[in-house]
Amino acid sequence: MRTPQTRSSIHLSTQQLDRAVGVVLASAAGDALGSQYEFGPPLDDAVTPEFGVGVFGHEMGEWTDDTSMAMPILQALADGRELDDDATLDVIVTRWQEWALNAKDVGSQTRGVLSDLSETTAQAATSRAESFHRTTGRSAGNGSLMRTGPVALGYLDRAEEDLANAAGRIAQLTHWEDDNVDACVIWCLTIRHAVLTGTLDVRAQIGWVPIDRRARWQDVITEALAPGMHPRDFRQGNGWVVRALQAALSAVAGATSLRDALERAVRGGQDTDTVASIAGSLAGAMYGGSAVPLDWKRKLHGWPGVDANDLTRLACLAARHGQPDSEGWPSAGLMPVYTRSDYLFRHPHDAGVWVGSLAALARLPREVDAVVSLCRVGTEQVPHGVESVQVWLVDQPHRNDNLDAVLTDAADVIADLRAAGHTVFVHCAEGRSRTSAVAALYGARHHDVPLTQAWQDVQATLPRFAPQTFLREAVERMVTADNDDRAE
């Protein structure tokens, strides 16, 4: 096997990296959210989809085959491998075949290919996919599109032509028909554009499909983007890759947030997990991984030993060609600590919550069984057996596209953990800015402490209390909004 190539690390802004993470996290979340509604009727807008036990026995928050098939692609990219390398594709096919042996659900076309290979190689898989298509006359199920999101992460700094070629080649490992190739090419390029710019532009990507098929795809996209269109309008036949793309696109285009996009996708009915997974890969690319609610992230699982924190690390590595940053994140077992800021104190409004700094993770009280991290942590930094909730919150102004939602989520997840009987440690790098802001918001939002008093109490608790202005302003917005809601 060829040694993986080493590429220089791409420079991505904080927001771009967050959106790269969103491609993976939101897709997995949509997959798990849609699991229990699969093959069901469309849902009314008054119904809020919830995580539940899937049709094929997937646990609450467990993703299905959609995300499981994306995992070997994501892991290959996170290892710094190239998707135009035959050896890499051989590994992906091998891992798919191993997974399929004990999977709760495998698509019929995918199973038909993987279960009848002459050898476990990409060439054999592609040959078998073509043979399957020639024999049956069709191979345009949505099983290729559901897993394609991570492909885009390996090509954020490469030519669009390279991404188009890779997307098509990986699609044809199991699904030979042109519709699959075209759909994956368009979707991957749309994701790439969204990660880099934060905007939706699917029409511009049609130019990368063969010229004789462009007019048809223009019509397909125009129908999906028409005002008022909803995934329910594409429910019939959304197991077909074209209908699945239209359903997912209408879910994202008509949404006001990431959560709204995934809920719209699930409300469409029928192949809900796959449509929501496809929609999630694009919605995440637009809104970012920080837009995925923390209560959703806490539930996500599906691949052995992999949770939402691991998906975040893998996505960051995939977007950076397998290279960690200068401090070793996200691969390092331990992130550097500030020994002068080794702080650990009880929250002034809740004795079951401790607040402090990253350094204090090394000396947590035994009673602490959940950690809410407001900064980067190493893979081994949170003690084994302690729940680790990792919040994407950058301590710099104009670097957080979902600032208000993230702060609210952080305060709310502390309350959720406490309600479940956990003792919680909340920290950032120095126990100075982010910890101060979230601690004050938690006191005001969940213990009805007036905000001015909350700030004063947290300041008296944390020796290096110094929340940045933009965080103070955000907390004040959140508390004002809470008070206005109560007044109504």
pLDDT 10s digits, 150-180: 999 999 999 999 999 999 999 999 999 999 9
Helix ranges, 65-159 (H) = 65-78, 86-102, 108-114, 122-136, 149-153
Domain ranges of the chain: 14-319, 339-487
In Å, how far are 170, 275, 443, 453, 462 from 349, measured between CA atoms? 53, 44, 6, 11, 13
Model confidence pLDDT, tens digit, residues 187-211 = 999 999 999 999 999 999 999 999 9
User: Does the domain formed by 14-319 have CATH 1.10.10.60?
Assistant: no
Q: Which token pair is 241?
A: 């890759």
CA distance 456 to 465: 10
Percentage with pLDDT > 70 across the chain: 98
Q: Is the peptide bond before 210 cis (omega within 30 degrees of 0)?
A: no
Helix (H) or strand (E) holding 424: strand 424-428
Q: Which token pair is 222?
A: 């125009």
Model confidence pLDDT, tens digit, residues 433-445 = 999 999 999 999 9
Q: Which token pair is 104?
A: 């709760």
CA distance 222 to 203: 9
- 3-state class (DSSP) for residue 387: strand
Task: Please report how many Cα atoms fall inside a 13 Å half-sphere around the Cα of residue 80, on the Cβ side.
Answer: 13
Q: Identify whether the C-beta of residue 91 lies closer than 8 Å to the C-beta of residue 72.
A: yes
Phi and psi (nearest 5°) for 161?
Answer: -60, -40
CA distance 150 to 335: 26
Model confidence pLDDT, tens digit, residues 2-60 = 333 445 567 899 999 999 999 999 999 999 999 999 999 999 999 999 999 999 999 99
CATH architecture of the domain 339-487 equals Alpha-Beta Complex (3.90)
The CA radius of gyration of the chain, in Å to the nearest whole number, is: 23
Q: Identify whether the C-beta of residue 354 lies closer than 8 Å to the C-beta of residue 347.
A: yes
Confidence band for 276, pLDDT divided at 50, 70 and 90: very high
Helix (H) or strand (E) holding 389: strand 387-390
Q: What is the pLDDT of residue 7?
A: 57
The pTM score is 0.96
| Spatial CB neighbours of 24, under 8 Å, sequence gap ≥ 6 | 70, 74, 149, 150, 153, 281, 284, 289, 311, 312, 314, 315, 318
Confidence band for 487, pLDDT divided at 50, 70 and 90: confident
| Spatial CB neighbours of 243, under 8 Å, sequence gap ≥ 6 | 142, 234, 236, 237
Q: What is the pLDDT of residue 8?
A: 56
CA distance 343 to 361: 10
Model confidence pLDDT, tens digit, residues 52-107 = 999 999 999 999 999 999 999 999 999 999 999 999 999 999 999 999 999 999 98
| Spatial CB neighbours of 273, under 8 Å, sequence gap ≥ 6 | 30, 31, 32, 33, 34, 35, 37, 38, 54, 64, 66
